[in-house]
Amino acid sequence: MKKLLLFVLVFFCNFLLYAQNGVEQKYLLTTETNTYGLSVLSLTDPYLSPLTYTGTGIQFGHESRRCWSETNTRLSIQSKLDFEVGLLLNPAQNSNMTYMAVAYSEGLHYKFNPTNGLTFMAGSSLDIGLGYKDVSRNVNNPGNVDLATNLNLSGIAMYDIQLKRRTLRLQLSVETPLIGWMYVPLAGASYYEMFRLGNLSGISHFSSVFNRRGINPRFTVDIPFKRSVWRVGLGYQKLQYTANDMVFDRTETSLIIGTTFDRIHFGGRMRKAPKNFISPND
Amino acid sequence: MKKYSLIILLAVVLLPSCMNEPTAQPNTYEGNFQSLWKIIDTRYCYLDYKHINWDSIYTVYHQQIPSVTGGIPFFDLMGRMLNELKDGHVNLYSEFDISRYWKWYQDYPSNFSSTLIYTDRYLGKKYRIAGGLNYGTIDNGRIGYIYYGSFSNSFSDSNIASAMNSFSKCHALIIDVRDNGGGSLDYSKQLASYFFKNDTITGYIRHKTGNGHSDFSKPVEITTTAHKTIQWQRPVAILTNRMSFSATNDFVNRMTRAPHAIIIGDRTGGGGGLPLSSELPNGWLVRFSSSPMYDINMQNTEFGIAPNISVALTETDQANGIDTIIERAIAALK
C-alpha cells in the first residue's frame, strides 16, 4: 500500500512539473534605444527673419518599443522623446539664432514579415513638439515658439544581414505628418500684444498635408558587440508649414550614434516578477 | 516585398521634392533694396495713415541704385528712403552706422535743460535715487518731484513706495518725463498704475493681419490696472516735451485718463507704433513700426499727445535759472 501511495505521489509530482513546463510564462521585452546626434540645421522663421539661418545642433533621443501584449506580437507600441539645441547664423553671419526643442510621441505599428529577415512595420504616431527660437538682436520680436501636435503616418523597414560573426540590423524609419494643430503668430503681432494684452487671434491653426508637410527618414545600422549593441546612422528631416502668409522651413541632416538594448518590465498587479527575479523592492 | 520597398522609397524621395525651398532675395544692391522695400510695404503700419505712396517711393529710389558705388552710399540711399516714413521708430542698422529720423524732436524747441532741474531751486544736489527715478521735494517741500529719464531704467514697487513716503507731506507730485525717449511698455504701465483708483481702459492696439496697407486686426483694449497697495490720489502733473517718445508717449497717453493728472509742457514726440524688426540679405537689421496704438478715442498716437497746458521753456527763464514748465506745473497744482 505504501509503495502504491509513493508511486501515485511521484506520478502526480512529475505530471505537475510537466504541466508547469507546458504553460511556460512569456514576458514582454522592451527595446530601449538612446541616441546622440550631431546635425547640420537650416531654419527659416519669417516671424523672426526672412533669411534662412544655418548652423549645428546636438540631439539626444530616447526610444522604446514593445509588443502590444504577450499574445499579440504583431502590434507594437513605440514612444520617443527627443531633445535638441542648436546655434545658427544668418547668411551674413552677423546675427545668431539659438534653438531649443523637445518632442514626445507615441506610436502604434503593425508588423509583418514578407520574407525571411525582412520586417515591415506600418502605423501612426501622435506627437507634440515644443521649440523656441531666439534672435536676440531683434526688437520686440526676439523669439518665436514652435508648438504643434500631429498625427503622423509612420513606417519602419528592418532587414537583418547575417555576417560571419554577427547579425547586422538595417533599419529605415519614416514619418510624415497628416493632420494636427499648430501655433503660428501673425507676422505683425508682437508677443507683448499676444500675451500681455491677451490678443490671441490668428495664432491657432488646423494643419494638414495642405499646409504642413514633412518627412524624416532615418537610416540606422545596429551592430552587436560582445555585451552591447551600437546603433549608427544618418537622419534627415524636412518640415515645411504655412500659416498667416508665412512659410516656415526646417531642414536637418544628422549623424546618429547610440546604443540599443532590451529590458524587461515588471510592475502593477498584472505584471508581477517571478520568484526567481530579485528586485530591490522585495 | 518589391512593392513595399518601392512605396517607401518613393515617399522618402518624392515628398521632400514636393516642398519648395524658402526663397530670399540675393545679397546684391538690387536684392537688398527689394527686400527692404517689401518689408516696409507689407509690414509697416502707417503707410495709409500718413498718406505715403510707397510705390512712387520705390520708383524714386530704385532708379538711383545703378549710380550707387560702395556700401556706405547704398546704406545712405536706403536710409533716405526710410526717412520718407518720417518715423522715429524706423532705423536701419549696419555694422558702420544706424540710419535715423530725428526731426520729430530736432525741428522743435527742446523745452528741457538737465542743468536746470539739478539746481538748488529744484532737485539740487541732495536728491535721492530709487531705481531709475531721481526724486526730491521742491517748492519748499510742498511738491514732490520725480525725474524719470528712461523707461529702459527699471524701478520696483519699493522704489516708488520709498519716493511716495518721502512725499507724505506734499500736496501734489510732478513726474518729469521730458527727454525720456522711451523703453519698456511694462514700466510705462507700471508707473501709470500708481495713479489709478480703478482698472481703466486707456487705449487700444492693432496689428497687421496681412500684406495690405490697411490689413489690421480688431482693436484690442489696453487696460491700465490700478496698483493694489500703492496709490497716489493727490494731484499729479506730468511734464512733457517733444523728446517724450515711444513708451513715454504710451505713459502720457495712459495718464490722460488718470483721475488727478494733468499734462503740462509741449506735445509729446509720438512713436505710437510698436516696433518690430526684420533683416536684409546682407545682414542689416531694419526696425519699423508694426502695431499702431491709439488713445481712448481711437485716435492714433503716432504724432504725439497734446498737453492739457501748453508751456514752453523761455530763454529768459532759463538764463535766470528758472524752468518755466516746472513753475507752471507748481502754479497749476496749487
- Tell which residue, A95, A73, A89, has the closest CA to residue A139: A95
Residue B149: inside a domain, yes or no?
yes
Q: Which chain A residues in 129-158 lie under 8 Å from chain B, judged by CB atoms?
A: 137-141, 155, 157
- What is the mean predicted confidence (pLDDT) over A135-155? 94
Q: B308 and B262 in contact (C-beta within 8 Å)?
A: yes
Is B263 inside any structural domain?
A: yes
pLDDT band at A23, cuts 50/70/90? low
**What mean pLDDT is predicted for residues B24-42?**
94
- What lies within 8 Å, CB to CB, of B237 at 6+ separation is B172, B173, B174, B175, B261, B262, B263, B264, B329, B332, B333
Contacts of B11 in chain A (CB under 8 A): 155, 174, 176, 215
**pLDDT exceeds 80 at position A6:** no
B1 found inside a domain: no
Give the residue from chain A lying closest to B18, CA to CA: A213
Mark yes or no for CB contact B8/A44 under 8 Å.
no
The whole-number pLDDT of residue A15 equals: 46
Residue B201 burial (CB count, 10 A): 11
Q: What is the distance between the alpha carbons of residues A8 and A11, in angstroms, rounded to a whole number? A: 5
Q: Please check whether residue B183 lies inside any domain of the structure.
A: yes
Residue B188 lies in a domain: yes
pLDDT single digits (tens) A199-222: 888 899 999 999 999 999 999 999
Whether B11 and A50 lie within 8 Å, measured CB to CB: no
In a domain, A180, yes or no: yes
Say how far residue A64 (Cα) sits from the centre of its chain.
8
Cα angle for residues A210, A250, A156 (degrees, 5° grid): 75
- Terminal CA-to-CA distance of chain B, rounded, Å? 94
Mean per-residue pLDDT, B65-69? 92
d(C-alpha A155, C-alpha B81), whole Å: 54
B246 assigned to some structural domain: yes
Q: What are phi and psi of B144, to 5 degrees?
A: -80, 145
Q: What is the mean pLDDT of residues B169-175?
A: 96
Domain total for chain B?
1
At residue A100, φ and ψ (nearest 5 deg) are -135, 140
Query: Which of B275, B231, B254, B287 has its CA nearest to residue B36?
Result: B287
pLDDT one-digit tens code per residue, B197-210: 999 999 999 998 88
- Over its C-alpha atoms, chain A yields an Rg (Å, rounded) of 26
Average pLDDT over residues B144-161: 96
B310 domain residue, yes or no? yes
CATH number of A60's domain: 2.40.128.100
Rounded Cα distance between B167 and B135, Å, is 10
| C-alpha distance from A185 to closest chain B C-alpha (Å) | 10
Please report which confidence band the pLDDT of residue A13 belongs to, taking 50, 70 and 90 as the band edges: very low
Q: Say yes or no to pLDDT of B231 above 80.
A: yes
- C-alpha separations of A218 from A237, A254, B6, B28 in Å: 8, 9, 16, 38
* Assigned domain for A271 exists: no
pLDDT at residue A152 greater than cutoff 80? yes
Cβ distance A108 to A76 under 8 Å?
A: yes
**Least CB–CB distance from A91: residue in B5, B210, B281:** B281
Task: Give the containing element (helix H, strand E) for B126.
Answer: none
| Residues 6 or more apart in contact with residue A2 via CB below 8 angstroms | none
Do the chains contact at B205 and A139, CB–CB below 8 Å? no
Residue B123 domain flag:
yes
Query: What pLDDT does B16 receive?
Result: 57
B19, B39, B224: best to mutate for the A interface, most A CBs within 10 A: B19
Domain that residue B261 falls in: 114-195+232-269+304-333
pLDDT at A238 over 70: yes
Residues 202 to 221 of B: which have CB under 8 A from any A CB? Answer: 205, 207-211, 217-218, 220-221
Grid cell for residue A173 = 524609419
| A157–B18 CB contact, under 8 Å | no
For B157, counting Cβ atoms within 10 Å of its Cβ (0-12 exposed, 13-18 middle, 19+ buried), the class is: middle
> What gap in Å lies between CA A79 and CA B328, rounded to an integer?
72
pLDDT (tens digit per residue) in B257-312: 999 999 999 999 999 999 999 999 999 999 999 999 999 999 999 999 999 999 99
- pLDDT value, residue A111: 93
Contacts of A155 in chain B (CB under 8 A): 8, 11
Q: At what angle do helices B71-83 and B29-43 cross, to 10 degrees?
A: 20
The residue among A43, A44, A49, A51 with the most chain B CBs within 10 A of its CB, best to mutate, is: A51
Average pLDDT over residues A174-202: 89
Q: What is the average pLDDT score of chain A?
A: 89
Q: Least CA distance to B225: which residue of chain A?
A: A197
The reported pLDDT for the residue numbered B209 is 87
Mutate to test the interface with A, among B9, B15, B41 (most CBs of A within 10 A): B15
Q: What pLDDT shows up at residue A49?
A: 94
Q: ipTM score of the complex?
A: 0.85
Domain count, chain A: 1
> What CATH number is given to the structural domain containing B312?
3.90.226.10
Considering only CB atoms, which chain A residues are within 8 Å of B209?
186, 188, 202, 244
**Range from A15-24, B99-108, B220-229 carrying the lowest mean pLDDT:** A15-24
- pLDDT band with cut points at 50, 70 and 90 for residue A190: confident
Q: Which residue range(s) make up the domain with A72?
A: 36-264
**Per-position DSSP letters for chain A, written without gaps between them:** -HHHHHHHHHHHHHHHHHHHHHTPPP--EEEEEEEEEEEEEEEE-TTT-SSEEEEEEEEEEEEEEEES-SS--SEEEEEEEEEEEEEEE-TTSS-EEEEEEEEEEEEEEEEEEEETTEEEEEEEEEEEEEEEEE-TTSSS--EEEEEEEEEEEEEEEEEEEE-SS-EEEEEEEEEEEEEEEEE---TT--HIIIIIS---TT-EEEE-TTTEEEE--EEEEEEE-SS-EEEEEEEEEEEEEEETTEEEEEEEEEEEEEEEEEEE--BTTTBPPPTTS--TT-
Give per-residue pLDDT as tens, B90-133: 999 999 999 999 998 989 999 999 999 999 999 998 899 999 99
Sign for the pseudo-dihedral over CA of A132, A136, A137, A140 = positive
Residues of A in contact with B21 (CB under 8 A): 249
